[in-house]
Structure 1
Amino acid sequence: MASIERTAYPQFKRNPVVRELVTAYTPTDAELAFITDSARQPGHRLTLALLLKSFQRLGYFPAIDEVPAAVVRHLRNALRYRVQVKPADIAPNKRYRYFQRIRTYLQVRAYADGGLDVAARAIHQAAAVMDNPADLINVAIEQLVRDRIELPAFSALDRLARRIRTLVNGRYFALIDARLTVDEKQRLDDLLVVTDVRTKSLLQAIKRLPKRSSLQHFQEL
């Protein structure tokens, strides 16, 4: 599995600075009106505000308990609620309605609405010239963001990138195998042959790292 830290997949900063809180998590007047019109109770409005601003920052809906405490405090202050107001633990059907309202408000599509095809096409095209799974995941993220489609879980992108990478590489391997003559295949096989236990295979010689730059070492290589 690719390391999420090596990709552009958005994540919360556990301790966001004040500048980031103000810039990324302060709701506009229009957003405040949307939150007020979409929920009645203070706890539900706070939850909706957290989902809205988190989605704008991340491109997907996080679990409420994953939102940093600093972001919760900042949005609670923006809504002018007391410290006693906590994010409401909403039922799955209400959470789904909140997701739908936010997508409509932000004019984005759910990943289930064509996102898989978009990500797969982007990865398939990139896999022709890239091999690192993290790079392939980044290509998919960039295309999904460009097409205003919600990001799936990181594990879904990782599985998709590895599956398509295996498919594309398998086709390349088959193409190369079909072009090799019998003699060329035998020569490749011979690279692995060790005639004396005290020596290494020719493949090890090919893989050997170059020495310090000098004319003699270059001639040896």
Structure 2
Amino acid sequence: MFFTPSPEEVAWAEQRTGSPESCFALVLALKCFQKMARFPSPDEIPEVVIDHVRRCLDLAEDVWPGHGSSPSAKAHRKLVRQRQGVKYDAGRARAIAAVAIRKAAQAKNNPADLINVAIEELLRLRLELLGYTTLEDLATSIRAEVNATIFATIVQRMGEAGRARMEGLLVVGPDGKSTFNRTPRARTFRSSPWPRYSGST
């Protein structure tokens, strides 16, 4: 299992903590960071993961991870970052993620794809990841901005005559069909769910 700490990792944590609870917390933080490249909130960590790490440390069932004071929790995060060779800089990470998303949005439209691009760039630069909600908000807002710019550019290049022809395609006639509905290409799109890929595998 991924969350199984190695003997070296356990020894590393024991040397830097003074109680079973704090050692438990440090090992758990390390393993979660190795998996997620960020520190999850306590309620994000599945109980099965907590139980697994507890058993690996040979701790009793009533022992729970506890950093102790807030300064200790901060110190533990710093230790994990140093061990993993990762820097924490939320402002820089956000700026880098925004640039990566904006560039990718020129060719991609799925928010999940845009988020993955941002994650890959942050990992490449050895930066602690932003929270998923932050990345999702960035992807959503930047995608909307990029799409609006693309649409505005298309409309501008069409010119007044082109826009008039496009609007005319949507006018519904007495038969209940628009000019677009009567075009051969529109019928092709309605008849086949994969018109561009027919004949290829």
Answer yes or no: is the 8 Å Cα contact 2:29–2:39 preserved in 1.
Answer: yes
Change (3 A) 1:113 1:164: closer
Alignment of 1:5-16 (within 5 A): none
| Counterparts of 1:149 and 1:37, CA distance in 2 | 26
Counterpart-to-counterpart distance in 2, 1:108 and 1:82: 32
Q: Which moved more, 1:140-149 or 1:184-193?
A: 140-149
Shift of 1:175: 1.8
Cα deviation digits, residues 97-138 of structure 1 (max 9, x gap): 221221111111225152112211211111111111111111
Residue 77 of structure 1 corresponds to 55
2:101–2:142: 8 Å Cα contact kept in structure 1?
yes
Sort the Cα spacing of 1:178 and 1:28 in 2 relative to 1 into closer, same or farther, 3 A.
same
How big is each residue's C-alpha offset from its partner over 1:164-208, in whole Å with a ceiling of 9 and x where there is no partner?
A: 112222222222222122211110111222233x41223445655
Equivalent position of 1:93 in the other structure: 71
Q: Please give the alpha-carbon distance, in whole angstroms, between the structure 1 residues aligned to 2:192 and 2:164.
A: 33
The answer to whether structure 1 residue 184 and structure 2 residue 146 are counterparts is: no
Number of residue pairs the alignment of both structures matches: 190
Structure 2: how far apart are the matches of 1:212 and 1:157?
A: 36
Question: After the TM superposition, which residues 70-219 of structure 1 pair with which residues of structure 2 at under 5 Å, given as runs?
Answer: 70-88=48-66, 90-112=68-90, 114-196=92-174, 198-205=175-182, 207-208=186-187, 209-211=189-191
Q: Does the CA-based 8 Å contact 1:59-1:150 persist in structure 2?
A: yes
- The answer to whether the 8 Å contact 1:111/1:151 transfers is no
Q: Unaligned stretches of 5+ in structure 1? A: 1-19, 214-221
Q: Is the 8 A contact 1:51 1:64 kept in 2?
A: no
- Is residue 50–residue 64 contact of structure 1 (8 Å, CA) maintained in 2? no
Structure 2 contact 26–67 (Cα < 8 Å) conserved? no
- Structure with the greater relative contact order (CA < 8 A, sep ≥ 6): 1 or 2? 1
* Contact persistence 1:123–1:136 (CA under 8 A): yes
1:50 corresponds to: 28
Q: Distance in 2 between matches of 1:133 and 1:109?
A: 26
**Structure 2: where are the runs of 5+ without partners?**
194-201
Q: Name the TM-score, length of structure 1 as normaliser.
A: 0.76
- Give, in whole Å, the separation in 2 of the partners of 1:212 and 1:161: 32
Contact 2:111 2:139 in 1 (8 A): yes
The reply to whether residue 30 of structure 1 matches residue 8 of structure 2 is: yes
Deviation at 1:159, TM superposition (A): 0.9
Partner secondary structure for residue 114 of structure 1? helix
**CA–CA distance in structure 1, aligned partners of residues 170 and 69 of structure 2:** 61
User: Shift of residue 57 of structure 1?
Assistant: 1.1
Q: Following the alignment from structure 1 to structure 2, what is the Cα–Cα distance between the partners of residues 130 and 109?
A: 29
